[in-house]
Amino acid sequence: MVGETITFELIRKIQREERAASKLTKLPEGFYKNVNSYLQQKKKIADKVGSTELKNIEMLVNDIFNRRERKILNMVLIAARTKIPPENLSEEEKAFFDTLIEVVSKRRKEALAELFEEAEKQAEGEMAGQRIVPIVFNEDMEEFVGSNLINYGPFKKGDTAEIPVDNAKLLEEKGIAKEA
């Protein structure tokens, strides 16, 4: 399709192909720029003879654009997960894709890192058989070995700490600390 002259028939053909294919189809080189020129010419003529053909062309181009945009959005999600590069992007679409892939990849990296970090912290507490909770000490407390076999303290009145839940309950029952 490289170097093809833009005509109503070509635009209609591309629209049919785009509708039929689940992936992006190959566009003629400079398609959007050439369509713009074609529309400019048709607008000059339409002012003199009517605008039905111009409206049909605009509807077809809009449909092509919308379908390709949706496919590009899907490609961004796939590429962010698999790192598989896209095919058949025009130059304009490539810039759009690159912007979106940067945003989606950054978000995925940050969100997953945070999720995995939280899961790791939770797993560490569970591996030790404990859930960790924050407490505030009501009085001074000497160093002690928690139920997870980790040393805690010493603490002064007003200090806060994160300790195993069963140790926190015991300290609360004795009035030494309270949940933060």
Within a domain: residue 48?
yes
Within a domain: residue 2?
no
Residues 111 and 137 in one domain: no
Within a domain: residue 31?
yes
Q: Which range, of 37-41, 46-50, 143-147, averages the lowest pLDDT? A: 46-50
Phi-psi region of 44 (alpha: psi -120 to 50; beta: other; left: phi over 0): alpha
Q: Which tops the pLDDT comparison, 8 or 131?
A: 8
Percent over 90 (pLDDT), the chain: 63
Span 140-155, average pLDDT: 90
Within a domain: residue 83?
yes
pLDDT band at 121 (very low <50, low <70, confident <90, very high): low
Domain end: 118, 142, 166, which one? 118
Domain extent, residue 171, equals 130-179
Measured between alpha carbons, how far is 56 from 50 in angstroms, rounded to an integer? 12
What pLDDT, on the 0 to 100 scale, is given for residue 123? 61
Q: Which range, of 29-38, 64-73, 105-114, averages the lowest pLDDT? A: 105-114
What pLDDT, on the 0 to 100 scale, is given for residue 1? 45
Within a domain: residue 1?
no
Residues 78 and 114 in one domain: yes
Measured between alpha carbons, how far is 29 from 90 in angstroms, rounded to an integer? 8
